[in-house]
Amino acid sequence: MILTSAAMADWCRKLLDGDGEKPHLTLEHYMDAIPRLDCLGHLPPGTPVLIRGDVDAKPGPAVGEGDIRLRSMKTTLDFGRQHGWKQIIFGHIGRDPEKSLDKVAARIGEILGCQVEFVADWLDRETVTIKAEAVEALAQCPAGGVIVLENTRKYEIERALWKAKPEDVGAQAEPLARLANEFAEKLAKVYVHEAFSAGSLDASSVVVPAAMDMVALGKYEAEQFEDHLKECLEAQMVVFSGLKIDKLDDLQAMIDRGKIRLVIAAGSLAVALKKAAARLEGKDFGIGLSEDPAHKGKPYYIPPERIEQAQRMIAEGRSKHIEFVMPVDFVLQDGSVSETIGPGDQQFDVGPASSARYETIVSDFIAEHQADSPPAVVFHNGVFGMFEDPRFEEGTRRFIAQLKRMTDAGVKVYIGGGEGGKALEKYGRPDWVTYCFTAGGTVLNALGSEPVPYLVALRMAAEKMGPKPHQ
């Protein structure tokens, strides 16, 4: 069926509005609606299948180095090879459109133990049509074969929705519809999403499914959402830190689920909460450059409405007996430790008294919950300071050790990937926690206030397959 421009415009509006049901749909709603890979098991050998792969990787010299995302696709790709499908892997690497997936394609071949065909230029930029080279590669591909297409972000159409709003999609609808139709008509009408970290509004993740006859979640991706993320929804403690103040939205969404009883905060989110808590007591707490209007547009700037949001969060949280633990001292830009943040100052880490307080809080949590059945759950996201600089790493380093203490005591500890995962790698070991995700942004979307874009797209695409297509 040819997808019209009008249909694509409607699709994109729903997509950008979270399917129009963002306040009502939970992660469970999406997972209940989207088919799993096993539902495609009836497809005959030789069937072409698109695999939106987690190919944003930097392979090292040998398998096992820099390719964790590529290895996460292996179970799904093995399933397709065993069924004799012609699998066409596509996706992006970084944000630079000039980067190539040639080394990624070679590493996928090493992981699978087979020859992988690489198509370096597969889309005509001006006409948004699939080139003959890709069509020919598919025709020559044997049953069970694998093809990798070059970096999707090489083509502007892949990035068309990055900054779009629902009212803006009209101008993009025609070329996006053409892209989706080209994939369906020239490559495949079956689509599997196996790119857990691909949380952006890339056309390969959220537009191409619109033209598919069948869609499904990959094996690894389904496991992340059904097992690990589902357990994170039960967290009694969350550790939230980092530079991005919009994490307040995610924290609020997690608190609203009613499970959280303890919040340990650091970073920009913590100073917002610190100022908000002071105001609730009729006082004030200066946060330096983070509240200076001259620094609007800087990533560390915290606008007044975010302080107001933090006040509401603390007031509502305390009424529900939620404890908020915030820093009591800070490491400033010159390396000095201070209990205050003066005008012109900026905090780059929590201070030693804060770390000691966090350790006491963790001890109390362990004492209260180590005998829980089922085990208590802790979700950790972010780092406590600019840990890449040795002057500002101590807060992060000390708290990573607390994750091990909780794990050793029988608490289930999850790290949301991203910077937190890098800190675990730097200061600890993988077995210090229950699980570390490979995609921080996707995890926050799933647990927080915004739906994961590709889940929205897959849910809409699955509606065409009939009710409960995976059952």
pLDDT at 448 (0 to 100): 77
pLDDT at 365 (0 to 100): 96
Q: What is the largest CA-CA distance in the chain?
A: 73
pLDDT at 414 (0 to 100): 95
Q: pLDDT digit string (tens) for 48-106? A: 999 999 999 999 999 989 899 999 999 999 999 999 999 999 999 999 999 999 999 99
State the pLDDT confidence band at 18, using cuts at 50, 70 and 90.
low
| Residues forming beta bridges with residue 341, ordered by sequence position | 287
pTM: 0.86
Q: pLDDT digit string (tens) for 334-349? A: 999 999 999 999 999 9
Q: Which of 122-126, 329-333, 360-364, 418-422 has the lowest mean pLDDT?
A: 418-422
Amino acid, single-letter form, for residue 118: F
State the pLDDT confidence band at 167, using cuts at 50, 70 and 90.
confident
pLDDT at 468 (0 to 100): 57
Give the chain's mean pLDDT.
92
Determine the Cα–Cα distance for residues 207 and 209; give it in Å rounded to an integer: 6
CB environment 367-401: b (16+ within 10 A), e (fewer): eebeeeeebbbbbbbbbbbbbeeeebbbbbbbbbe
Tell me how far CA of residue 17 lies from CA of 22, 167, 281, 451, 452, in angstroms.
7, 10, 38, 10, 12
Determine the Cα–Cα distance for residues 330 and 336; give it in Å rounded to an integer: 8
Determine the Cα–Cα distance for residues 367 and 124; give it in Å rounded to an integer: 62
pLDDT at 1 (0 to 100): 61
265, 325 Cβ separation under 8 angstroms: yes
Closest CA to 288 of 240, 354, 333, 351: 333
pLDDT at 467 (0 to 100): 63
- Classify residue 20 by its DSSP letter: G
Other beta carbons within 10 angstroms of residue 102's beta carbon come to: 14
State the pLDDT confidence band at 223, using cuts at 50, 70 and 90.
very high
Cα dihedral 439/89/68/157 (nearest 10):
-40
